[in-house]
Amino acid sequence: MWDMADQFHENVVDDFVAEYAAGRTPNPCLRCNEKIKFEAVLDRAVALGFDAVVTGHHARLGADGHLRRSVDIAKDQSYVLAVLTRAQLDRAIFPLGDSTKAQVREEAAERGLAVADKPDSHDICFIADGDTRGFLASRLGESPGDIVDSRTGAVLGQHAGAYSYTVGQRKGLDLRVPAPDGRPRYVLSITPKTNTVTVGSREDLEVDTVTAARPIWHGTETPVECEVQLRAHGEVVKAAVTVDANGLVAHLHSPARGVAAGQAIVAYRPDPDGDIVLGSATISAGLPANPPSQAPASTSAGSAVLSAGSEVAGSGSVPGGGAASADHAAGAGGAASAEGSALVGSAARSGGAGSSRGE
């Protein structure tokens, strides 16, 4: 076992905290895949003469080299692997992608493996109690500020730290002024510069254009008609995507809600043999489909553009397309961050076995 606790803490845990402090919503699993499993582990493996890293991710790599969705769509993890470069994919093997999770568990039980009945993991693994807000507060401290209305600028309540919120959030806002129509309000943006959380209606959440930075793109000329996924396990939306030196822009054919800066946008080409990953980038902003007629004076442009801190979207960036995302991997258990990865020589390529864990 290789102890990578220090690398894990720096590249995953510290990044996670920094991203929330900057008003973005990171994805720690994506960051762990990019910086730990397919950088730190892979680099060391290659230096020692190994050919590849095998993981238990539910995704497929065909003979054509394309990264595709798993046959088990409910467990598909291609979204959190889309940040990998061509060179990293060329040294990766995902043997579970052609099996459903139920089939994997059945085979594990037949082989007498203790993990056959292990519960699926859903929480951020370095936050054992699942209290993300408490975890962030212990590291960033309390920082009171205003919660304001996107259309009037009126102060509706107070927060103890803008890092406790994410775009699309409805619960836990503790607003003291009800909406005139009695309908729920949602977080539209977080602006660290003014320590302001801006809220509005469900309709105000809708965006029809997404801009993103640091794209990883796999050769398809753009603009291209495709489908995009805007968060892990989120629904797909048809879009026209363009990638150039300035980043990625997706014009959505139907509005999407809850688009948060710091998450990944992943483009797919539908295919009967498994949707193909075209590339990914880190979301900088979502441009509203229903812009407010009056932006509040207390929030800069961050509330008219659903950017969640996009004025600092460059910090904590991943060279070549990793989200300013943080990943769900183990902080105190950083040594286990390579868990689920197996190193193989060329002889194993024809039948590589991996672990059943692939977060």
- Of the chain, the percentage scoring pLDDT greater than 70 comes to 81
In sequence order, what DSSP letters do the residues of 286-328 get, joined into one string?
A: EEESS--SS--GGGGGGGTTB-SSGGGTTTTPPTTS--S----
Angle between helices 14-21 and 132-140 (to 10 degrees): 80
Dihedral sign from CA coordinates of 73, 79, 80, 83? positive
Cβ atoms of 210 and 230 closer than 8 Å: yes
- d(Cα 6, Cα 12) in Å, to the nearest integer? 10
Average pLDDT value for residue range 188-213: 95
With cut-offs at 50, 70 and 90, classify the pLDDT of residue 33: very high
Domain extent listing, the chain: 5-126+324-346, 144-200, 204-312
Residue 292 has a pLDDT of 61
The pairs formed by 118-125 with CB atoms below 8 angstroms and a separation of 24 or more are: 118/356, 121/328, 121/357, 121/359, 123/328, 124/16, 124/28, 124/328, 125/328, 125/329, 125/330, 125/333, 125/359
With cut-offs at 50, 70 and 90, classify the pLDDT of residue 56: very high
Flag whether pLDDT at 308 surpasses 70: no
Collapsing DSSP to helix, strand or coil, 240 comes out as strand
- Residue 222 token pair: 């753009």
- Residue 189 token pair: 């943006």
Biggest CA–CA distance in the chain, Å, is 68
Tens digits of residue pLDDT in 118-144: 888 777 999 988 899 999 999 999 999
Residue 240 φ/ψ, nearest 5 degrees: -105, 120
Fold for domain 204-312? Elongation Factor Tu (Ef-tu); domain 3 (2.40.30)
Superfamily of domain 5-126+324-346 in CATH is HUPs (3.40.50.620)
**Rg for the chain (alpha carbons), in Å?**
21
Which of the residues 22, 40, 125, 259 is marked catalytic? 125
Tens digits of residue pLDDT in 67-122: 999 999 999 999 999 999 999 999 999 999 999 999 999 999 999 999 898 888 77
Residue 351 has a pLDDT of 36
Q: Which residues contact 129 (CB under 8 A, 6 or more apart)?
A: none
160-174, 194-208, 212-226, 310-324 — which is least confidently predicted? 310-324
Tens digits of residue pLDDT in 210-264: 999 999 999 789 999 999 999 998 889 999 999 999 999 999 999 999 999 999 9
Which of the residues 32, 188, 230, 304 is marked catalytic? 32
With cut-offs at 50, 70 and 90, classify the pLDDT of residue 288: confident
Is 29 designated active site? Answer: no
Is 226 designated active site? Answer: no
Higher pLDDT, 39 or 329: 39
Q: Among candidates 56, 65, 60, 15, which has minimal Cα distance to 35?
A: 15
Superfamily of domain 144-200 in CATH is Adenine nucleotide alpha hydrolases-like domains (2.30.30.280)
